[in-house]
Amino acid sequence: MPIEIRTILVPIDFSTHAEAVLEWAAHLAEEHGSRLVLLHAYHLPVDFQQLEGAYLPPDFWTQVKADAAENLERAAAPLRARGLAVETVVREGYPATAIEEEARARNVDLCVIGTRGHSGLKHLLLGSVAERVVQKAPCPVLAVKTPE
């Protein structure tokens, strides 16, 4: 049975690991003639939201979204230069949930996501977006681990 990979969702957090994730996704897109959807999800941690007296400027979220869109376009440009079809999406929300929802809404065939490889106490405290995506996504997930 041939595997068709028409659409690849690529969540990007703009970390140093994003380059390797993009390269894996681009390679697969070239091999399969796939369309790439680069996604950045942003949210304000609950801990910050509950701080008494925390102040956010009125245009804070507008600026966060604009910066994310600009960074996604910067990441998309070299992929488009390689002849790949690339769409960019910025969403507000908890990243794992936003990734799962976007994958469902777009009926993606594969999600390529980075993992920083947290372990031990740090993993217990922070959890892993990639791990949650692997568990909940409606499609196969390729988790790209890069050396520290």
CB within 8 A of 106, min separation 6: which ones? 7, 9, 37
Tokens of 145: 């681990």
- Name which of 111, 112, 127, 85 is nearest 24 in CA terms: 112
Buried/exposed code over 66-94 (b: 16+ C-beta within 10 A; e: otherwise): eebeebbeebbeebeeeebebebbbbeee
Percent of the chain with pLDDT over 90: 58
pLDDT at 63: 86
pLDDT at 10: 97
93 residue type, one letter:
G
pLDDT at 39: 97
Buried/exposed code over 107-131 (b: 16+ C-beta within 10 A; e: otherwise): ebbbbbbbbbeeeeeeeeeeebbbb
CA angle 99, 21, 29 (to 5 degrees): 85
**100-128: pLDDT as tens digits:** 999 999 999 999 999 875 555 445 444 58
Residues of the chain with pLDDT under 50: 49-50, 121-122, 124-126
**CA dihedral over 47, 50, 55, 57, signed as positive or negative:** positive
pLDDT at 145: 85
pTM of the model: 0.85
pLDDT at 53: 58
Tell me the sheet residues that pair with 9: 37, 111
The CATH class that applies to domain 10-36+70-145 reads alpha beta
Query: Quick check: 34 and 28 in contact, CB under 8 A?
Result: yes
